[in-house]
């Protein structure tokens, strides 16, 4: 079994640095959050002192900091929103993060299902999301990145929405980041949550 942890979980637990947190919980791999400025939590410095991974030198230094303690990045975590007015830039950022993931030695990127779209129908959200992911998939064909949609938000916790995107995109490189707790927190009873997990497990 392979186990990793989100950087934010370590910060929330009170660890001063990512390195201290990984050592504290006995893990060596982290899911790394990267923002639109290509900034991520540092390895050895306080979480708030984000470092920009926007150059070869910066990335090489980050890789060296990880390697110093035998740590690795297993996936990048994005808080994307495909309802943003600057959609083309949002797509470019996701593609850039896919390239960063490959450089850091992993090949998986977490995509967020949340769309802050006022007045959009489910059909419109599904089409825009799927079209955006089609562009991302096409732009990363040469590196083969895998993308997992996290079931976040009211719409993102509906299996029909998740399966609709996956079916529309039609790529084996797109699936779900199957967060079992989110389905429960969204208000579904456990019996339904179990059914959903069974239904979506093949796409995880």
Rounded to whole angstroms, the Cα distance separating 52 from 91 reads 19
pLDDT for 118:
83
pLDDT for 1:
82
CA 69 to chain centre: 24
Q: What 3-state DSSP class applies to 109?
A: strand
pLDDT for 158:
95
Q: Do 82 and 128 meet the contact criterion of CB atoms below 8 Å apart? A: yes
pLDDT for 7:
98
CB atoms within 10 A of CB 61: 15
Nearest one of 90, 79, 78, 155 to 118, comparing CA atoms = 155
Encode the chain (204 residues) as per-residue pLDDT tens digits.
Answer: 889 999 999 999 999 999 999 999 999 999 999 999 999 999 999 999 999 999 999 999 999 999 999 999 999 999 999 999 999 999 999 999 999 999 999 999 999 999 998 889 999 999 999 999 999 999 999 999 999 999 999 899 999 999 999 999 999 999 999 999 999 999 999 999 999 999 999 999
pLDDT for 130:
98
């Amino acid at each position: 079994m392979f186990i990793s942890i989100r950087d934010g979980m370590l910060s929330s637990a009170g660890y001063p640095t990512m390195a201290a947190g990984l050592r504290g919980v006995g893990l060596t791999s982290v899911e790394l959050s990267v923002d639109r400025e290509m900034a991520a939590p540092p390895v050895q410095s306080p979480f708030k002192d984000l470092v920009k991974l926007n150059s070869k030198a910066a990335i090489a230094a980050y890789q060296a900091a990880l390697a110093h303690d035998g740590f690795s990045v297993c996936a990048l975590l994005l808080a994307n929103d495909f309802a943003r007015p600057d959609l083309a830039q949002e797509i470019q950022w996701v593609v850039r993060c896919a390239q960063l993931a490959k450089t850091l030695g992993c090949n998986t990127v977490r995509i967020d299902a949340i769309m802050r779209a006022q007045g959009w129908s489910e059909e419109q959200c599904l089409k825009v999301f799927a079209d955006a992911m089609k562009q991302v998939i096409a732009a990363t064909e040469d590196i083969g990145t895998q993308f997992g949609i996290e079931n976040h938000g009211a719409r993102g916790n509906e299996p029909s929405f998740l399966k609709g995107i996956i079916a529309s995109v039609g790529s084996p490189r797109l699936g779900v980041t199957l967060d079992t707790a989110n389905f429960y927190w969204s208000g579904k009873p456990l019996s339904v949550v179990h059914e959903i997990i069974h239904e979506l497990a093949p796409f995880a």
